[in-house]
């Protein structure tokens, strides 16, 4: 559980080169109280944003993902929560690693991985908190290795 005090605090989670791409929505009410991670989709659907606590440093990190065109054949697979779905649900999200390099991950386009895992845990009896932690660990690993 963490708290984001203001729109400025939210933007400060992102790297300076990403900030101009981040569009908070009018419906956000600060402070935001967040359980696992915070995600939202730009109204046009072109971008998905993610703010999560890095498991190593505890610092909040923000990633501005762009949705890329679907490629290859269905079904698609989310590397973070292991859901399978159509190209409308799962696809390639890319982020700028630097000004010249982009990195991508195949994931749920709306990043509602934890919600899906919660449904799964209700069916299988797996520990939902444990599954959520696993997703945040993978997010941290991805962001540390490729972006921050
Ligand atoms: Zn997922």
- Which residues are placed with Cβ below 5 angstroms of ligand 1, an ion? 78, 80-81, 83, 108, 113
Report, as an integer, the average pLDDT of 115-138.
Answer: 96
* CA 81 – ligand 1 centroid, Å: 4
Per-residue pLDDT tens over the stretch 51-85: 999 999 999 999 999 998 766 666 789 999 999 99
* CA 77 – ligand 1 centroid, Å: 8
Up-side HSE of residue 65: CA atoms within 13 Å toward CB? Answer: 29
Ramachandran area for residue 51 (φ above 0: left; ψ -120 to 50: alpha; else beta): beta
* CA 83 – ligand 1 centroid, Å: 6
* CA 139 – ligand 1 centroid, Å: 11
* CA 12 – ligand 1 centroid, Å: 25
Q: Residue 70's pLDDT is what?
A: 64
Task: Say if residue 110 is exposed, middle or buried (CB neighbours under 10 Å; 0-12, 13-18, 19+).
Answer: middle
What would the two tokens of residue 23 be? 């569009």
Report, as an integer, the average pLDDT of 119-147.
Answer: 95
Distance (Å, whole) CA 28 – CA 14:
17
Q: Residue 137's pLDDT is what?
A: 97
The alpha carbon of 20 is separated from its chain's Cα centroid by a whole number of angstroms, namely 18
Q: Residue 62's pLDDT is what?
A: 98
């Amino acid at each position: 559980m963490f708290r984001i005090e203001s729109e400025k605090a939210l933007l400060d989670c992102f790297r300076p080169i990403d900030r101009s791409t981040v569009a908070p929505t009018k419906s956000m009410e600060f402070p935001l109280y967040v359980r696992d991670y915070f995600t939202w989709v730009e109204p046009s659907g072109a971008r998905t944003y993610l703010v999560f606590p890095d498991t190593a440093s505890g610092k909040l990190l923000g990633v501005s993902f762009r949705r890329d065109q679907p490629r290859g054949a269905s079904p698609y697979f989310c590397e973070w929560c292991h859901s399978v779905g159509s190209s409308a649900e799962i696809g390639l999200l890319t982020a700028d690693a630097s000004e010249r390099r982009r990195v991508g991950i195949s994931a749920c386009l709306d990043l509602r991985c934890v919600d899906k895992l919660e449904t799964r845990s209700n069916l299988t009896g797996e520990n939902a908190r444990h599954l959520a932690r696993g997703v945040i660990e993978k997010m941290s690993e991805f962001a540390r290795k490729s972006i921050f």
